[in-house]
């Protein structure tokens, strides 16, 4: 009886093996004729037995499945090719891998090309799905997951973007890449030549000199910042602050994380917290003019005029071409006029006091004038011209005002 059961079992296995062979032959024949629908139908019957398939047919099954689905279902095709490559590596026999690898690369490049095309056309929804599919087809190319997250944000699909950014955090994505730099002999400028092979070839041809390698900055802080902005767009700035605070625990001296957390406090209208972080930022990066400029803004908003002036002056000291700092410094000085003008209105009948206050007003305008002039020189705007006209009129600088007035009218389209 035992021998009979064994014989029956062997018989069943043999029948199953023949069935697999026949289905594979039918699929192969259909693929050669370009009848991919028929090929998929033939292979569909084998999917349930994929794990228990006869080892001598498994590699061929994966290869035919990848070929049948091809670009019509890149995800299924790539999954089949990847299983094939992994299986043949496991058994140490690469019969189909050499043919499958270029087909897999073609699929990846095709989907990637579609993603880039959609992104350039600002079709961010389709760009997202194709970037993510490219990543799924080739998990080692993690930059495509980052592109999917970015595209999803631009599509305003914040739930999707959050999912992708958190996936990036799970795989500890940094986005750090190596740039292969050399100096262009003709221009004298450094250029990133893309790959080491290309850079070395350009050096060999004598067109470039001074080769060097540079690593780009990590995108981890940017990912956390983007998560923060998603929370803000979802009406959850408190979660954004929490995310950044958690990130800073492991890297408290990361200036980018600190500044992004400070930005969240602006969204929450907590300028006192913003100011605290700006002071901390200055301690971390004492030669950064933007940090002092931001401290100037905070103090000006809180009506701490002298402190604001000091911070703007420090920003200018660090960057003598900082147009916004000159403008804000001049405007902050001019804000001293408010108190004087209010007092003038209270002394309209007191000619002596009124005249004295007029003198104070002119002193303030004279103090502010060089900063507004410098700001206007560095970057003329309707605001700088308007402020200058106001000062010129107050100081009775008629010729300067007359020269500027037609420019102001033209800027306003009058």
Query: Could you read off the pLDDT of 314-368 as tens digits, one per residue?
Result: 999 999 999 999 999 999 999 999 999 999 999 999 999 999 999 999 999 999 9
Asked if residue 121 lies in contact with residue 58, where contact means CB atoms within 8 angstroms, the answer is no
Cα 213–Cα 193–Cα 174 angle in degrees, nearest 5: 55
Cα 130–Cα 136–Cα 140 angle in degrees, nearest 5: 115
Asked if residue 115 lies in contact with residue 123, where contact means CB atoms within 8 angstroms, the answer is no
Average pLDDT, the chain: 85
Asked if residue 151 lies in contact with residue 127, where contact means CB atoms within 8 angstroms, the answer is yes
Evaluate if residue 7 carries a pLDDT over 70. Answer: no
pLDDT attached to residue 298: 85
Of 30, 31, 96, 23, the closest CA to residue 59 belongs to 96
Model pTM score = 0.59
Q: Of 124-133, 237-246, 286-295, 319-328, which range is least confident?
A: 237-246
Return the CATH number of the domain spanning residue range 1-111.
1.25.40
Confidence of residue 45 (pLDDT cuts 50, 70, 90): low
Evaluate if residue 286 carries a pLDDT over 90. Answer: yes
pLDDT attached to residue 135: 92
Query: Could you read off the pLDDT of 11-22 as tens digits, one per residue?
Result: 333 434 556 676
Domains in the chain: boundaries? 1-111, 122-171, 178-215, 311-413
Evaluate if residue 147 carries a pLDDT over 90. Answer: yes
Q: Of 57-71, 116-130, 156-170, which range is least confident?
A: 57-71
Of 269, 267, 335, 259, the closest CA to residue 294 belongs to 259
What's the rounded Cα separation, in Å, for the pair 262 and 267? 9
């Amino acid at each position: 009886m035992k021998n009979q059961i064994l014989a029956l079992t062997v018989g069943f296995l043999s029948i199953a093996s023949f069935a697999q062979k026949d289905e594979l032959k039918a699929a192969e024949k259909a693929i050669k004729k370009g009848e991919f629908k028929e090929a998929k139908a033939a292979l569909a019957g084998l999917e349930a037995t994929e794990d228990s398939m006869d080892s001598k047919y498994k590699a061929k099954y994966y290869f035919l499945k990848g070929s049948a689905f091809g670009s019509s279902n890149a995800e299924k095709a790539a999954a089949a090719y990847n299983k094939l490559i992994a299986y043949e590596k496991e058994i140490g026999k690469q019969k189909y891998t050499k043919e499958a690898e270029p087909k897999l690369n073609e699929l990846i490049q095709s989907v990637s090309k579609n993603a880039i095309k959609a992104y350039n056309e600002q079709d961010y929804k389709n760009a997202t799905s194709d970037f993510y599919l490219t990543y799924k087809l080739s998990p080692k190319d993690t930059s495509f997951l980052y592109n999917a997250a970015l595209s999803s944000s631009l599509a305003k699909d914040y739930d999707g973007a959050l999912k992708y950014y958190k996936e990036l955090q799970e795989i500890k994505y940094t986005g750090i890449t190596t740039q292969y730099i050399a100096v262009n002999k003709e221009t004298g400028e450094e250029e990133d030549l893309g790959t080491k092979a290309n850079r070395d070839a350009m050096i060999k041809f004598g067109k470039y000199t001074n080769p060097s390698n540079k690593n780009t900055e990590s995108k981890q802080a940017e990912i956390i910042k983007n998560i923060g902005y998603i929370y803000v767009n979802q009406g959850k700035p408190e979660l954004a602050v929490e995310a950044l605070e958690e990130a800073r625990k492991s890297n408290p001296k990361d200036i980018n994380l600190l500044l992004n957390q400070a930005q969240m406090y602006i969204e929450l209208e907590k300028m006192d917290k913003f100011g605290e972080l700006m002071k901390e930022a200055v301690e971390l990066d004492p030669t950064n003019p933007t940090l002092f400029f931001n401290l100037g803004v905070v103090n000006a908003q809180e009506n701490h005029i002298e402190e604001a002036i000091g911070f703007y002056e420090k920003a200018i000291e660090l960057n003598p071409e900082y147009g916004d700092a000159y403008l804000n410094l001049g405007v902050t000085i001019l804000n001293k006029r408010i108190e004087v003008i209010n007092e003038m209105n209270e002394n309209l009948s007191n000619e002596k006091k009124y005249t004295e206050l007029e003198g104070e007003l002119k002193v303030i305008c004279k103090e502010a004038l060089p900063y507004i002039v410098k700001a206007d020189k560095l970057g003329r705007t309707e605001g700088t011209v308007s402020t200058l006209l106001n000062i010129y009129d107050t100081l009775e600088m008629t010729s300067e005002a007359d020269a500027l007035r037609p420019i102001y009218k033209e800027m306003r389209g009058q």
